[in-house]
Amino acid sequence: MKLKVGLALGSGGARGWCHIGVLHALAEEGIRPDILCGTSMGSLVAAAEASGILDKLEAFARGLRQLTIARMIDIDVNSGGLIMGNAIMQQLHELGFKDTIAALDRPYMAVATDLYAGREVWMRDGDLLDAVRASIGIPGIFAPVFHNGSWLLDGGMSNPVPVSAARALGAEIIIAVDPNSKLYMPRHGAPDLTTDSNGFGLDMLLQNMPAAVQPALKSYLEPKKTRRRTPGYLEVLSTSIDVMTDQIRRSRLAGEPPNVMVELDLRDVTVLEFSKADLAISRGYAAMKAKMPLLLAQL
């Protein structure tokens, strides 16, 4: 009897483009996951796969440039985040995602986090892209989403790699993909904090603000130019999210181990560098290929 294969795609912001490469590697071996679960960017890629439009999402991702990303950013500092996310979701709608989770060709679940209850929320029905939008709500960046009486944020705050969700949907062999697994491995020397970093999306945010407030916002957000550069707002936020989700991930996976753990080294991609899809996708493909013998031995 064929075992049900579940795919648990983890959070990681822009690093989550790696999931596209993972799915390509599986397809080359004729492996089509029976169950798809995702947190944050993992929920988006899983939704594209279940909607039959992974190729369109990949083309969209590979075509992203700083300018095109900037045009999709709708700033509203009164929304509970910096970005409303409506313009981004409109672009995703145009790719052809299925309207509802019920319309997908396989069981699917997106994981979000209830802001006030402090618990994970499993989204298994209703509007598909509404579920994705709730799951990708990076705190401090994207505005939270009001859904069924609760304010929801990024699922990475509660379940960064949703192995438990895949198991709950009936998966017997679970492949888990963690885009953040190598973030805190030993380095040769300390990170360079003496020069400015443009990897955290400051320019994109500023381009979408009224000209009159750009100088003040830039002064607040950008790294301070001291003898030893002080990290800027977006850098502190991005790195803090990494630290938080790493601790949660370690705890969750210790009690909920998958059958195959695919670990990525994407330390050179921040959570906001969405224009680095080519790099992330190629790393995801290579990482899944490396674990293929282990997977095939269990099928």
What positions carry a catalytic annotation? 40, 154
For the chain, the first-to-last Cα distance in angstroms comes to: 10
Pairing between β-strand 150-154 and β-strand 173-178 as defined by DSSP bridges: unpaired
Q: What is the Cα–Cα distance from 44 to 131, expressed in whole angstroms?
A: 9
Phi and psi (nearest 5°) for 54?
Answer: -60, -35
Quick one: tokens of 187?
């380095």
* Count of Cβ atoms closer than 10 Å to residue 70 Cβ: 15
Phi and psi (nearest 5°) for 5?
Answer: -100, 125
Q: What is the Cα–Cα distance from 38 to 55, expressed in whole angstroms?
A: 18
Q: How many CA atoms lie within 13 A of 20 on its CB side?
A: 26
